[in-house]
Every structure is written in structure tokens, then in C-alpha cells.
């Protein structure tokens, strides 16, 4: 295979409301798709409670393990908004009030007094970078390789889209086929294909009760010709007539 530009990522979703089943996390599915589109390999998503020691330990682990880390949630004005403190602790930094953010927050009030809870939103891990962009109202806080994003889905999306151009790795090339055959009968051909193409990302996804197909098979690689050759190889092995359609 050719040398490829790789970048990997982890997502930390901070929120009791997801663990307790009150809310469904839509931020990680959104980000998974977006990252794939720009060739970034998402390695882990974790959902953790609003607990300082858990946030700090998890973020520290992800920070060391992955090229890029995104956190979602816990950055508002209330008692359960402890992500900034958690990230600071993960990086062994202090929490400081950022003058640029404080000015921005005071500006929104048009001279009305600011309370402590409100100004807490100007806190950052010491030495953090602010990423401003014409399209977003409030800068995104970045500490080391950690992008700290809000949990509210609209703002999460808006903020990521403003950051998106920063992330770029070689794209994945995907080919898909759908077959009427049972998964257990084609497993041998999948294994044989992997034997020939060991670096292939090969997925096999059975679907229950679909009139059209029984298994969806995905072949991926960052090397277009590699995935094309693997696809042709697999097609040549599969029983005549079992492939319903192909994509890519």
C-alpha cells in the first residue's frame, strides 16, 4: 500500500442525561460521519457521567492515546458544568478566567451586571487557545489536542463545522455490496479475501427481515486501487447471482 496521511480521534460525551436515558446523544453520530468524510479515523466514543475525577481520567487517557480529542457537554454556567475543570485536571493545568471570553460575555449583557455563574463560562484551562470564526458567536476553547464543544446539538454542529477545515487526512474509499446469501455461507470468501488483502477494512452486516438482501458487505481502504482489487477479488469468489447490488 502507498503511504497515507492518518489522523485518529476520540470523542468524550459528558452527560448524566444520556446515561440515564433522558436524552439520546446525537453529537457523536454527527461527528462520526463528519470525521469519516475528511479521512479522520474515529477510534473511540465514550459516554461518562458529570463527575470530575471520571472526566479528568478519561480525557487524560484520550489525550495521550489519540491525535485529536473532542469533548461534548458540561460547559455552561451550572454546578454540573465541570468539563473545563476536568480537562484542566487531565492536563495538570490550573483553571483561569480568560480576559477575551470575559469581555465577550460582559458585552452580551449590554451593561447589566454579570453574576459568577455566568462568568464561569469565561474559564479555560491555563494556556488554552481560543478559536474564533466569523460564523460562531462564542470562540471554541482548545487545550493541547482537546477541542471543548458544547452539548447542545445545534451549537455543537455549528462549532464543529467552523473547525472542520483544520482536519484533513487521506480519504477512505468505500465499496459496498449487498447479497441474498446467508452470512455464514459467505464467511469463507470474506476470509479468503482478507488473506489476499490483509489491510482491507472489511465489514459484514446482516439485516433481519429485509426482502432485498441478507448481508451488506463494506470494503474500505485509503488506497483506491487496493480496495478496487479486493472488491473484484471478492466478487469473483461469491456464488453466481447472490449479489443484489453494489455501490461505490
Residues in the chain: 248
Count of residues of this chain found to bind its own copies when the rule CB under 8 A is applied: 60
Within 67-96, the residues that bind its own copies by CB under 8 A are: 76-80
Task: Pick one of 28, 71, 179, 221: the residue that binds its own copies (CB under 8 A).
Answer: 28
Q: Is 16 in the site for its own copies (CB under 8 A)?
A: yes
Query: 131 vs 201, which CB is nearer to its own copies?
Result: 201
Q: How far apart are CA 62 and CA 7, in angstroms?
A: 14
Closest CB to its own copies among residues 16, 145: 16
- At residue 167's C-alpha, the angle toward residues 166 and 168, to 5°, is 120
If one asks whether residue 123 binds its own copies (CB under 8 A), the answer comes out as no
35 lines the binding site for its own copies (CB under 8 A): yes
Nearer to its own copies, 22 or 135 (CB): 22
Residue 155 binds to its own copies (criterion: CB under 8 A) = yes
Instruction: Yes or no: say if 98 and 122 are a contact pair by the CB < 8 Å rule.
Output: yes
Query: Which part of the chain contacts its own copies (CB under 8 A), choosing from 87-95, 127-135, 160-168, 179-187?
Result: 179-187
**Distances from the Cα of 64 to the Cα of 9, 59, 95, 145, 221, angstroms:** 11, 9, 20, 9, 26
Residues that bind its own copies (CB under 8 A): 16-25, 28-29, 32-37, 41-49, 76-80, 115-118, 121, 152, 154-155, 172, 183-185, 187-188, 190-191, 194, 201-209, 218, 220
Amino acid at each position: 500500500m502507498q503511504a497515507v496521511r492518518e489522523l485518529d480521534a476520540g470523542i468524550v460525551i459528558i452527560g448524566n442525561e444520556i446515561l440515564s436515558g433522558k436524552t439520546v446523544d446525537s453529537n457523536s453520530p454527527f461527528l462520526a460521519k463528519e470525521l469519516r468524510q475528511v479521512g479522520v479515523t474515529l477510534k473511540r466514543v465514550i459516554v461518562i457521567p458529570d463527575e470530575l475525577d471520571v472526566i479528568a481520567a478519561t480525557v487524560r487517557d484520550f489525550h495521550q492515546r489519540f491525535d485529536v480529542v473532542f469533548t461534548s457537554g458540561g460547559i455552561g454556567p451550572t454546578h454540573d458544568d465541570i468539563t473545563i475543570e476536568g480537562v484542566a485536571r487531565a492536563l495538570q493545568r490550573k483553571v483561569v478566567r480568560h480576559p477575551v471570553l470575559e469581555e465577550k460575555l460582559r458585552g452580551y449583557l449590554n451593561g447589566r451586571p454579570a453574576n459568577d455563574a455566568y462568568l464561569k463560562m469565561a474559564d479555560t484551562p491555563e494556556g488554552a487557545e481560543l478559536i474564533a470564526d466569523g460564523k460562531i458567536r462564542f470562540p471554541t476553547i482548545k487545550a493541547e489536542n482537546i477541542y471543548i464543544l458544547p452539548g447542545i446539538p445545534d451549537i455543537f454542529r455549528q462549532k464543529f463545522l467552523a473547525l472542520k477545515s483544520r482536519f484533513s487526512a487521506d480519504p477512505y474509499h468505500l465499496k459496498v455490496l449487498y447479497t441474498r446469501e446467508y452470512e455464514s455461507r459467505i464467511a469463507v470468501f470474506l476470509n479468503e479475501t482478507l488473506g489476499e488483502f490483509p489491510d482491507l477494512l472489511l465489514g459484514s452486516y446482516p439485516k433481519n427481515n429485509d426482502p432485498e438482501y441478507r448481508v451488506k458487505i463494506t470494503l474500505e481502504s485509503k488506497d483506491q486501487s487496493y480496495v478496487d482489487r479486493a472488491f473484484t477479488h471478492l466478487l469473483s469468489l461469491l456464488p453466481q447471482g447472490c449479489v443484489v447490488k453494489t455501490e461505490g
